[in-house]
Each structure stands twice: as C-alpha cells, then as structure tokens.
Amino acid sequence: MKQILQNLKDGSTAIAEVPCPQVGRGDLLIRTTRTLISAGTERMLVDFGKANPLEKARQQPDKVRQVLEKVKTDGLAPTLAAVRNKLEQPLPLGYCHVGVVAAVGGGRPVADAGALPPSPLAGEGRGEGGQSAFAVGDRVISNGKHAEMVSVPVNLCARIPDNVTDEAAAFTVIGAIALQGIRLVAPTLGEAVVVTGLGLIGLLTVQLLRAQGCRVLGIDLDPAKLALARRFGAETVDLAAGQDPLAVATAFSRGRGVDAVIITAATRSNEPVHQAAQMCRQRGRIVLVGVVGLELSRADFFEKELTFQVSCSYGPGRYDPRYEAQGLDYPIGFVRWTEQRNFEAVLDLLAAGRLDVAPLVSHRFALAEAERAYAVVGGAEPSLGIVLEYPGGEAARLLERTVVLGDANHHSGREAGIQARAGQVPAPSTPTVSFIGAGNYATGVLIPAFKAAGAVLRTVASSGGVSGVHAGRKFGFAQTTTDTEALLTD
C-alpha cells in the first residue's frame, strides 16, 4: 500500500510503498477513501523539516534540554548519533481520515469491504468502547494517517451517517478539536465570544458557536477567511486593514467586555493571549486551541480574575493509553463527552446540516499528487481545506504485508533480496539475520552492529510498517514486513 511520509531533515514529502499494518485486538483495519490535510498543523511540520539545525533547536527548546542531558550522561558522539538517527526516521502525516472497515481486529470479517475480501489479519473484538460493534463495510472516520490502509483503535473511530459524504466526513476530527475548545469555554445562549484566527479550526469554531446561539466576532488577516466567517454569521475584524480589535470587541460586547475568547491562531507571538485578556469582561474565559506564545502577564489575569485553559486535541481520552490503545471507555455518567463522542456530535451536526464544510474545501488532489498538495501547504498559494482522494485498488496489493526492497543500496541487502525472490537459502557459512522491531535502539545500535559484523540482513518487521521500511532501506534489508509470524517461520 502507499503512504505519505515526511523527511524531518529537509521537510520533503514522498509517497512510499509500505506493508499493510498489523491490526491489534480491538483495532479497525480501514481502507481509505478520503483524508484531509490539516493545513495549520501539517504546515508547521513541513516548515520545521525545512528549517536549519539551529532553527530546529529554537523551535523545540524542550528537546534541546533533553539532548544536553544526554550529552552529560552518554557523551557527545553517541548523542549526536542518536539525534541524527531520530531525524532520519520518516514521519507519517495526517490525522483526518475517512474509509471503509476492512477487518475488526480480534474478530472475523463479516461482509465485503468495498472490493476487499475477508482479511486474514482479524481476531476477536474487545467490545468495551461505545462504538465497538463495528462491522466490515461500515463507513467510518478516524484519526488515521494519509495511507491507503490504516489500523486505528475503535475509540478513535466513529460511524458516518448515511447522508454525510466522505468529503464532508473528512472534517470530523478537526471539527472535534474546535468542539472541544468550545466545551471548555462552556458558552451559554446569547454570550459574546471572540475567535482569534480563522483557519479551518477557527471557521469550524465560528459555526459551532453560532449553532449554540452565541454571538461571534472573528479576527484574522485574510479577507477571504473573514468573508467566510461573515457567511457563517460572525462579525469580523480585519487586521490587515488596520482595524483595532480591542475597539471593535468593546463595541461588539456593548462596552461590557466579551464573555470568552477562543484562540485558534498559530504564531510565536504572545499578543493573542494578551489581547484576549484585554477584551474579556470580569471573570471572562480564555481557551487556547492553537499554538501561540505563552509568556503571560499576571496583571492581565489578576485584575479581572480571568480563567485560562489549554485545550487538548479532540477531547477526554486523548493520549490516555487505557482509553485509546486498550479501548476502555469512560462512563458516560461521569464523562459525557469523550473524543469519540465528540466525533459523533460533529457527524450529527453534519448530518443535520448545521455544519457546512463545503465552502472550506480549497483544493482536491489524488493521492498520487500528494507532493503537489504539500507544495501548496508549504507555499504562498492561498489554501484552506485540502482533500486527498484515494483510488482504491486490488485487494492483494492493499493487504500485502511484506514489501521487497528492490532498491536497497547495500550489497548484503541486494544479495539477500535476490535470494529471497529466487527462493534460495544463503550458504551455511553466511549468517543471515532478521529483526523484529525497528525502533531507536535497533536502528541506532543493534542493526548497525550486525551489519558491520558481515551478517546478511534479510527481513525487518515492525507493527505499523513505516519504521521497518526506513530501517530496511537504510541498512540494506532484502524486505520489510508487518507479518511477524511469517518472519518466525522463515
């Protein structure tokens, strides 16, 4: 199958041939039909990759501190080698995904999944999650990557209503990010709320606030985005035209100060938070959804007793391995809105016509044109929602769990590759080694040691496929796989 990967060293993107991922117990194997490029988040990743080493360090001071601590304990040379090894590893992109269930991990497929036969990857389902009873053939959204096939835990998926198109459904995950920010603000009917930054998340936030009966003021520099905000029922402040956001917010709130500010902008400046504090009334609320500078002024918050909160992605459950990986749902009586239930709420709004995402689509590209799509993301051309369309294909290709690395650059890898394709076995005197696992220690220490010792590197296995492809190409393995059992029986 094909997957979009980014090179963190130079910011370039490429379409790679990757084995179909393993499907864990309670995961869904999903054949992709659409994905949405999150222009804000993914542009930051592209820009980070294109930055020079010094700029990379400035952007991630926490990582720099970790590196300095490692230098103290491990020494300079091992630390530099570890950093280079980390930056060489390709990054799978994407988190706004739509597709058709091909298999339920842990259970047997029960129907045709749009040209895919029953998969041998499935086992027994776990059944704890609120939407655990997925069936093969269901249309679902997930936070899966930009890949033809993805494996996603059930609590990070939701079933798509029949009257919602795949393209519209692709906005669900990013809509849940907007919705979670609103839930933290807890607006009431008639309140005045400011949305700072009118990208995809900001414009979805405007619509969701309007659906909740709030008056909304949107702030941005882009006339096209401001026009969309007005189309969705907001009043606006055009920073490019020199409008004073504080003066407009004062008039908008009838001189009382706004009830809340949701910041969906991306900037290193501290100004959005400072400005939000100035706009708010006594005991107003500020929620940060985007990424901005956080050098806060105590006086801003002390005098008005303001509250400030940072929103965590799609909602409760995010980054909790018990919820996401193990499928343990939170009791609805205690946690009404989890990330999965936020997904469902956005899909319900799409089905009811309360959320209009059609005007947010600026570009459509086929998967094969992904490099062009990311050129738009990282370039000067105006863009908003960039949708990738997936062609499907033969089931055998999409479900293939072993990829022969015919372009390996090392003699041992080429030799083993020739032998693997010919069904031959290396001479008894030649040590032949395969690896299960292609993480930092394997690629930084173990595999280089075996290669230096003259071993023939045959197969490298990884659960998701991406790290195995990287290790296989870097060290000259004959093939890479996500099928550990096949490796063990070789």
Measure Cα distances from 278 to 25, 64, 221, 252 in Å.
50, 34, 19, 14
pTM of the shown model? 0.86
Distance CA 470, CA 447 (A): 12
Residue 10: the pLDDT is 76
Residue 166: the pLDDT is 97
Residue 59: the pLDDT is 67
Residue 428: the pLDDT is 65
Beta bridge partners of 2: 17
**Residue entry with tokens 């269901």:** 138
Residue 414: the pLDDT is 45
Q: What is the pLDDT along the chain (490 residues), one digit of tens a residue?
A: 999 998 877 778 889 999 999 998 889 999 999 999 987 777 776 766 666 677 766 767 777 788 788 888 888 877 777 777 777 788 899 999 999 999 998 743 333 344 444 444 443 334 444 455 899 999 999 999 999 999 999 999 999 999 999 999 999 999 999 999 999 999 999 999 999 999 999 999 999 999 999 999 999 999 999 999 999 999 999 999 999 999 999 999 999 999 999 999 988 899 999 999 999 999 999 999 998 888 888 998 999 999 999 999 999 999 999 999 989 999 999 999 999 999 999 999 999 999 999 999 999 999 999 999 998 988 888 889 999 999 877 888 899 999 999 654 444 444 444 454 445 565 567 789 999 999 988 998 999 999 999 999 999 999 999 999 999 999 999 999 999 998 898 8
Residue 422: the pLDDT is 45
Residue 76: the pLDDT is 82
Measure Cα distances from 134 to 29, 111, 138, 374 in Å.
11, 11, 7, 33
Measure Cα distances from 377 to 8, 227, 363 in Å.
16, 21, 10
Distance CA 423, CA 434 (A): 16
Distance CA 46, CA 372 (A): 13
Residue 90: the pLDDT is 85
**Amino acid identity, residue 164?**
V
**Residue entry with tokens 């542009």:** 43
